Structure 1
Amino acid sequence: MRNILLRLAYDGTNYHGFQRQPEEHGLTVQGELEKVWKKLFAEEVKVITAGRTDTGVHAAGQVVNLSSEARIPEDKIPKAMNSILPCDIRVLEARDVPAEFNARKSAKWKRYDYRIDNGKIPNVFRRLYSCHEPIPLDTKAMQMAASFLEGTHNFRAFAAAGSSAKSFVRTLYHCKVSRMDGQIMITCIGNGFLYNMVRIIAGTLMDAGKGRIDPNAIPMILESQDRTKAGATALAKGLTLTFVEYDGTDPITIFPEIEP
């Protein structure tokens, strides 16, 4: 029995999230992957994912693993799967990994990027992959607010109401705001993320950029552990799971542009 890692990219626009759902709820990325594997190798598999992206959320570097008896060489798997998968899901890499590898539990950190189209008129070429916000945003205020989120905190105020997480403590190694060509990007790199955490962070930082939240209030929001104190949950389409790291390499080594 092999343990096979797949690295994926997908456009989440047409999917009811990553996690398999009853068919009447709509297509899911996991459902498509498992369906294609069965068609290719006549084998039922259960895909384990690094992160269960929500409806409309995208991925440039999602990682999954599955147990299989298929004998196909690892370097042939992407071509075989991509020949059948929908054009908005692609297998970028496949390789055999040790039996104990688990795409979720073995992850050391993940990078999520949230994109905001901050032009007065929506950019038609970004409409599926960014949240349009016509009000000019103060990125200095956003970055000041973001800096308070870095470190180890109880992020209950930045988790979806009713979350069943056993612990709300997470570590954000980096929370950065950058602007380029009328687009603002919020980059969050951490050891784990709560349900809707990055989207709530994005909504909160946008409020800081509009002057609705004082950046210096972020520590009090964290301390309150009150979801109603933070900003709204930003739209799903602006969020992309960009990278998942398993070897423990420092994020700045891989992404030097995030260094202060």
Structure 2
Amino acid sequence: MVQILRRLACARPWYASIGSCVLTGSERLSDRCHRLSWRRLVSSSPAARGQGLRREVGAGLKMAPETNYDSWTKTSLIQRLQKLETELATRPAAAHQAEAQDAGGDAPAAAGTRPPTTTTSESPAAAKGKRKLDPSRYSTRYIALKLAYLGKRYGGFEFQPSGNQPSIEEELWKALTKSCLIFPEDERVVDFGCCEYSKCGRTDRGVSAFGQVVGLRVRSNRPLPSKRRKREGGEQGGRDDGDEDDDAEAGGAAEEAKAFDDVADELCYPKLLNRILPGDIRILAWCPSPPADFSARFSCRERQYRYFFTQPAFSPQPSWLGPACGGASGSVRPGWLDIEAMRDAAKRFEGENDFRNLCKIDPAKQITNFSRFIFESDIVEVEDGRAELPYLQEPGFAAAPGGGGPHPKVYYFHVRGSAFLWHQIRHMVAILFLVGQGLERPSVVSELLDVATNRRKPSYTMADEVPLVLWDCVFPDLDGRGSPPPGTRTRHEDALRWIRVGDGDPAAKHGHFGIVDGLWERWRAAKMDELLAQQLLGQVARQGVDGTRGPAAGAGTKASSSSVKTFEGGNGGRLSGKYIPVMRKQLQQPAEEQNDRYAQRKGYADAADMRAQKAADWERDVTMDE
């Protein structure tokens, strides 16, 4: 979209301000477009300021001044800009024709001047192509969708009007409206309020998900009751048959409902949406019968995350170029991770703890409860994620004598919990990486969780976002709503009835254009990139100095050990100078003070006053609604 807007700006300099308005999302495009277009048209000729041309221009470029473009999809904004440019390109001809008529009365227009074209009318074919379904002719039903997406190229799951990157919700909205599964008043405006929408997790920019869940009301294939259809048909035909056949119609409706299978006869929602969605967003399953009070957010009792990393974390230097060991423990070579120490630290997260020192605090949310329950926290090896690099087994590069098998290996931090704070997982992983590199001891986790002693969070860098995956969202039997007792490793079982892609139709999964076919193409493209990079890295590592003997005498010297290369989850390490332990880093303000300062900027006495006044306003609104 940025490139298109820039081309528009270069083609017509006066149009650049419109492009910047769309890109920033900070101004209202409607008034801006109207003013700029009017100035250009009126200033094209003195005679164009006549009342007749003003009426013509106003009719051709009429835009609702109250139109708000903040929630429009980027595709709709581009289409709107292209339409405006087409309309404005024809208006100078209208101005010249009006000037000629003023000068010569009914004299014909000058040669080469074409009459203005009417852009408000559309051809019958175009009008037919834009015809929409009538929502009153279709029944609806409430369902749940389970979707997966690779989040690297997206700005997060939640739609952000001012975001530069597309969001998952924006792509989902476009697919839902294009397939006519929902019927918003204006499909260009992203507003899920029309379909009882709820979402389980709000993943951040770059984060992926393999088990995200949303709930919403969509169009159904179930026939409308006979009585309703006949009544609508009678109204359209100008007649009313009355209610004399109510009993027969009720029986017919019951018979129709009984004959309709809510899965076999229903629309195949995953197939419909996967045809439209980008290849890195897939609908995996749908639930035809969620509970009556189902909410994808509040009905979820367990969320599972996985954070993937390699062992070694980054390419280790040979022993003759750097210290053999480093960190607080003095036993971990740079680039390698102590998996057992990380596992020890991960286990300390389990149970109910206050995670205010392991999250990012957003004062706008005014959170006061930072306690979260972690069911399980562990470091797990990915058995099928190995891509060997033989040079890592050579003595100059190996982690320790014996090597511990082929490397690199792939691990993931596995965590299951009821709910999580903002950036909590990435903060937890950042501490685990420091422990794995020997820069911190596992006991640092216990110190950060001891908020009675340490109420101020140290300023440390959280881990990279790309390796993080929302692995699954679990909705157990909602009859038992109590929290598990502390110290237990409760594993919830999903009670929703999921209809997965391929159930009842194997071709939808493994056939031509099936979901596996598309995912295979995406995997193979990434695998070829990995394979070529692996072969190149291995070839370069084997050339030159032999890792088993080291360089010739005087050929090299040890690098300075004053700088520490730390791993933060990205594609390499980061030189950070002399390492400062976490508990000695600069401390942030306590959460309570951050909340108070935010409330005071908003005009309240403190955070408690802000919460009290908002609660009173909410109660007053509820009373007025009743």
The yes-or-no answer on 1:140 pairing with 2:340 is: yes
Q: Secondary structure at the match of 1:217?
A: helix
The yes-or-no answer on 1:186 pairing with 2:413 is: yes
**1:65 touches 1:103 (CA, 8 Å); kept in 2?**
yes
**1:75 touches 1:94 (CA, 8 Å); kept in 2?**
no
**2:198 touches 2:216 (CA, 8 Å); kept in 1?**
yes
The whole-number CA distance in structure 2 between the counterparts of 1:209 and 1:26 is 34
How far the C-alpha of 1:13 sits from its partner, in A, is 1.0
How far the C-alpha of 1:66 sits from its partner, in A, is 1.1
In structure 2, what residue type is equivalent to 1:54?
D
How far the C-alpha of 1:161 sits from its partner, in A, is 3.5
Provide the residue aligned with 2:491 in structure 1. Answer: 251
How far the C-alpha of 1:166 sits from its partner, in A, is 3.8
The whole-number CA distance in structure 2 between the counterparts of 1:108 and 1:252 is 8
The yes-or-no answer on 1:118 pairing with 2:257 is: no
The match for 2:297 among 90, 104, 125 is 104
The whole-number CA distance in structure 2 between the counterparts of 1:253 and 1:140 is 29
In structure 2, what residue type is equivalent to 1:106?
S
The match for 2:276 among 72, 84, 98 is 84
**2:304 touches 2:417 (CA, 8 Å); kept in 1?**
yes
The whole-number CA distance in structure 1 between the counterparts of 2:442 and 2:477 is 31
The whole-number CA distance in structure 2 between the counterparts of 1:209 and 1:75 is 50
The whole-number CA distance in structure 2 between the counterparts of 1:99 and 1:15 is 33
> Where do residues 1-260 of structure 1 align in structure 2 (5 Å cutoff)?
1-22=140-161, 24-41=163-180, 43-44=183-184, 46=192, 47-71=197-221, 76-96=268-288, 97-119=290-312, 120-121=314-315, 135-162=335-362, 164=365, 165-180=367-382, 181=386, 182-223=409-450, 224-228=454-458, 231-247=460-476, 250-251=490-491
**1:204 touches 1:232 (CA, 8 Å); kept in 2?**
no
Q: How many residues align structurally?
A: 242
137-146 vs 18-27, which deviates more? 18-27
Change (3 A) 1:2 1:23: farther
The whole-number CA distance in structure 2 between the counterparts of 1:39 and 1:9 is 20
**1:3 touches 1:98 (CA, 8 Å); kept in 2?**
no
How far the C-alpha of 1:216 sits from its partner, in A, is 1.5
The whole-number CA distance in structure 1 between the counterparts of 2:179 and 2:267 is 15
The whole-number CA distance in structure 2 between the counterparts of 1:98 and 1:16 is 32
Change (3 A) 1:24 1:177: closer
Q: CA RMSD in A?
A: 2.4
Flag the structure with higher helix content. Answer: 2
How far the C-alpha of 1:187 sits from its partner, in A, is 0.4
Change (3 A) 1:56 1:70: same
Q: Secondary structure at the match of 2:428?
A: helix
Change (3 A) 1:99 1:67: farther
The C-alpha deviation readout for 1:105-136, integer Å capped at 9, x for no partner, is 000111000001233449xxxxxxxxxxx710
Give the number of the structure with larger relative contact order, counting CA–CA contacts within 8 Å between residues 6 or more apart: 1
How far the C-alpha of 1:219 sits from its partner, in A, is 1.4
How far the C-alpha of 1:253 sits from its partner, in A, is 7.0
What TM-score do the two structures reach when normalised by structure 2?
0.37
The C-alpha deviation readout for 1:36-79, integer Å capped at 9, x for no partner, is 11111152362421110000000111111112344376560000
How far the C-alpha of 1:12 sits from its partner, in A, is 0.3
Identity across the alignment (%)? 30
What TM-score do the two structures reach when normalised by structure 1?
0.85
1-10 vs 48-57, which deviates more? 1-10
**Larger Rg, first or second structure (1 or 2):** 2
The whole-number CA distance in structure 1 between the counterparts of 2:354 and 2:305 is 19
**2:302 touches 2:492 (CA, 8 Å); kept in 1?**
no
Q: Secondary structure at the match of 1:236?
A: coil
In structure 2, what residue type is equivalent to 1:207?
L
Change (3 A) 1:248 1:239: farther
Flag the structure with higher strand content. Answer: 1
Structure 1, unmatched stretches of 5+, are 123-133, 255-260
How far the C-alpha of 1:213 sits from its partner, in A, is 1.6
